[in-house]
Amino acid sequence: MTSSNPSGRATPGSDGQAAEAHLTEVVIPIYNEEAVLAASVHRLHAYLTEKFPYPFRITVADNGSTDGSWAIAERLCGELPGVGAVRLQEKGRGRALRAVWSESQAEVVAYMDVDLSIDLDAFLPLVASVMSGHSDLAIGTRHANGSTVHRTLKRAVLSRTYNFLLATTLGAKFSDAQCGFKAGRRDVVQALLPVVDDNKWFFDTELLLAAQRHGLRIHEVPVDCMDDPNSSVDLFRTARDDLAGMLRVGRRVIGGALHVDLPSHVRRAKLPAGMARQLPRFAVIGVLSSAAYLLLFLLLRTVMSGMAANAVALVLTTIGNTAANRRFTFGVRGSRDVVRHQLEGGVDFIIRLLLSSGSVLLLHTLWPGAPRGVELGVAYTVIALATVIRFVLLRVWVFNPRRRSGAR
């Protein structure tokens, strides 16, 4: 038997337990999923009942469905103990997760996609790492050794590209931001929610970036995945929105707007002094430098060889990058030692020039007449991978505070 209240929530009848008695709440966000909803919830409920050792609650979060999904969700609340449902009038996976997680009393909150494309055998390791206190958040990853993934080439390429951009531009340490299979400590998640602006597909990426920004522990669980080929998700619109989200987060990091007060008992990893401020600023400057490099390379390539275009573009962007990091990342002002800083920053230029030029030369040796797009991609990839060398060089040597203080 179910009951609905004015907020759009259907709850279990008298045979259901109070929400606070459930240690794990699993949210299934849906939008027009009447074709698969009942079968998926029955399958998940049977699996958790049989194999999951912790008390659980399943909450279907309907965000703006216009088909019969809500009626099915209400029916499921009466059929299955421990199943509830929430209805929102507006679309947005992030909005649905926010609505349920912000009111949850469970020890662990989690979510998975309604198609159950991720093998459910990974759910216990996901929750156990959080329940044990080992991690603050846990995510499934399709990009780990041991994962078995069946998906279209288009989805695979977009996913790899997206996660590569997150790593190279915003310093993301997690390997699969988009996998719809995540869990976290309820108190930690609720503390992070106020700084997460997105209410759509970028929601969990933004949540993970905020968690990493605060030194929280994010555990990754290899998963097996069978993507739904009939998914209604607009991949390219989602990719466009995700890129816009990355730019927004970058601006907020620069402005220091991602700070939250976490529960006092949450143990946080400690970065070396100053690095928590320096890393995001270095990453944003790196994004701008990379964009400038790509534009310069393409312009110069019309009038000179690939090797020459790469060298000139690297010289100009390295000078600008060093000056920007000097001012914004490491807080060095004034003209004192500016020439020395540029010369020492040039050591990184030499390293990246040798690596990128060598890669372009090797490309043309193995593939004579390679297209300019491939040529640019190879050079940029090598330069992006060498970014960590540049940060270490600038922090430990060029702008080391001990060198600056010793010079006074």
Q: Are residues 16 and 153 in the same domain?
A: yes
- Tell me whether residue 225 is in a domain: yes
Question: What's the pLDDT at 3?
Answer: 34
* Residue 8 pLDDT greater than 90, yes or no: no
Both tokens of 190, joined, read 């609720």
Q: Are residues 149 and 220 in the same domain?
A: yes
Q: Are residues 210 and 296 in the same domain?
A: no
* Residue 405 pLDDT greater than 80, yes or no: no
The residue type at 236: F
- Tell me whether residue 260 is in a domain: no
Pairwise pLDDT comparison (13 vs 392), residue with the higher score: 392
Query: How would residue 7 be classed by pLDDT, with cut points 50, 70 and 90?
Result: very low
Q: Are residues 343 and 393 in the same domain?
A: yes
Tokens 């010793």 locate to: 406
For residues 67 and 38, what is the distance between their CA atoms, to the nearest angstrom? 14
**Mean of all residue pLDDT scores within the chain:** 81
For residues 404 and 336, what is the distance between their CA atoms, to the nearest angstrom? 10
Q: Are residues 217 and 340 in the same domain?
A: no
pLDDT tens-digit series, residues 209-222: 989 888 899 999 99
Q: Are residues 249 and 286 in the same domain?
A: no
- Tell me whether residue 263 is in a domain: no
254, 285, 316: which is the final residue of a domain? 254
* Mean per-residue pLDDT, 99-120: 94
pTM of the model: 0.61
Residue 44: closest CA among 142, 118, 151: 118
pLDDT tens-digit series, residues 34-50: 999 999 999 999 999 99
CA 205 to chain centre: 3
- Tell me whether residue 65 is in a domain: yes
Both tokens of 292, joined, read 């400038």
Q: Are residues 151 and 180 in the same domain?
A: yes
Q: Are residues 231 and 287 in the same domain?
A: no
Q: Are residues 292 and 364 in the same domain?
A: yes
Torsion of CA 156, 159, 165, 168, to 10 degrees: -80
Query: How would residue 168 be classed by pLDDT, with cut points 50, 70 and 90?
Result: confident
Pairwise pLDDT comparison (278 vs 321), residue with the higher score: 321
Q: Are residues 83 and 160 in the same domain?
A: yes
SS3 at position 302: coil
For residues 226 and 3, what is the distance between their CA atoms, to the nearest angstrom? 35
Q: Are residues 122 and 194 in the same domain?
A: yes
Residue 218: closest CA among 332, 129, 149: 129
What CATH number is given to the structural domain containing 25? 3.90.550.10
Residue 213: closest CA among 152, 246, 171: 171
Residues 177/205, Cβ–Cβ less than 8 Å: yes
Angle of CA points 393, 394, 398, to nearest 5°: 100
Provide the residue range defining the domain that includes 366.
275-407
pLDDT tens-digit series, residues 347-377: 877 877 787 778 878 877 888 877 877 776 7
Q: Are residues 13 and 89 in the same domain?
A: yes
Strands 225-226 and 149-150: parallel
Domain count, the chain: 2
373 sits in which H/E element: helix 372-385
For residues 33 and 48, what is the distance between their CA atoms, to the nearest angstrom? 21
